[in-house]
Amino acid sequence: MNAPATFPSTEVRPVRLLIVDDSQVVRSIFERILMRQANFIVSGTCSSVDEALRFLGRETVDIVLLDIEMPGRSGLDALPEILQRADGAAVIVVSSTVEQNSARMIEAVSLGACDTLAKPGGAGVGGHFAENLVAKIESIAAQRASGLAPSPTRHGDEPCSPDRGARAPIPRPGCIAIGASTGGIVGIQQFLSALPATIDCPILITQHLPRTFIPYFAGQLAGRVSRNVQVCTPGTSLVKNHIYLAPGDGHLGCTRQGSAVVATRVEGDFAAHYAPAVDPMLSAAAQTYGEAAVAIVLSGMGIDGLEGAREVRRRGGTVIVQDEDSSVVWGMPGHIAKSGLADAIMRPADMGLYIYERSAAA
């Protein structure tokens, strides 16, 4: 008799959640919202940062919902320690302050929060808020689950692209175009901080952020790097030692006008309606700079950047993506790596030296 056929389990592991908020009412409402979902488990609720740290020292969770303003130590102050203690868990900041103060939201994301959500007051905790909260958790959980397979390479190892080695020389960059989403702000800062000053080409950045947050992001970057930072507008000439951020209400592109390169606004639907989107920026950089275009794609959900990276490689440019270990979500860079389009896969802090060494060898 033949042995019975066996099939791999299709059971989905529940998402384990920790709620950290000083309000007992809010904790109870959040718990009710989350427990309505069959695949969510509320592993614990904590009223303070210290209680949360003790909990994370003995329990494992997938996602932490963290308030910012709490008595004693604030959630923002403790965020780096919470991330370290959480051992790979994602943190979503859920606080009224992220709506009232965009700078706090940018700071939270810069410190490692993978997303933020404005917490409404009173009876507003429900309805659309509940839908948005559940959607964010499901999206983060799905992306993290899909990225469980090991990265094709680790820092500085041979890339997965079959036709161009990690040690091959590249042209001196004419433009660096960076795309990022969830968890990407930290990577952007790490890359720019470590980028050698001799790499002085224009830098374009598309970070998935609401339009109102972009000026705060620009201000934060300007305070941390020695290059000029500005939110880009159509017609702006792209010059050396300048960083140009995509505005939150349109796609950033570029084109040649005589001897100059100017910024453009790219019309159209890209990558599941992200605005700004990474794909049009990378494609425009490839079409304008050719083999001198360097595309960098950092942590983020989804596939935005995949088609743009394909265009960069088609025109002879260089594609570098963040490795899985240092990514909050290995969605955008992971899709590019698994498609064989990445010349190198590494930490953001290592990318500047890679570009310098490879272009110096050309």
Scanning the structure block, which residue is given the tokens 């020292």?
57
Per annotation, catalytic residue among 208, 242, 251, 335: 208
CA distances from 237 to 15, 175, 245, 256, 258 (A): 47, 13, 13, 10, 11
- Whether residue 208 lies in the annotated active site: yes
Q: Residues 62, 16: contact at Cβ < 8 Å?
A: yes
Structure tokens at 300: 């983020």
Per annotation, catalytic residue among 21, 304, 323, 350: 304
Q: Which residues contact 118 (CB under 8 A, 6 or more apart)?
A: 95, 96, 98, 99
Residue 194 class from Cβ within 10 Å (0-12 exposed, 13-18 middle, 19+ buried)? middle
- Whether residue 102 lies in the annotated active site: no
β-pairing, 251-257 vs 260-266, is: antiparallel
Strand residues in 78-227 grouped as ranges (E): 90-95, 115-118, 175-180, 203-207
Per annotation, catalytic residue among 48, 95, 161, 181: 181
β-pairing, 242-245 vs 228-231, is: parallel
Of 290, 291, 283, nearest to 267 by C-alpha is 283
Q: DSSP letter string over 18-58? A: EEE-S-HHHHHHHHHHHHTSTTEEEEEEESSHHHHHHHHHH
β-pairing, 63-66 vs 242-245, is: unpaired
- Whether residue 299 lies in the annotated active site: no
Structure tokens at 219: 């201000």
Positions marked active-site: 181, 208, 304
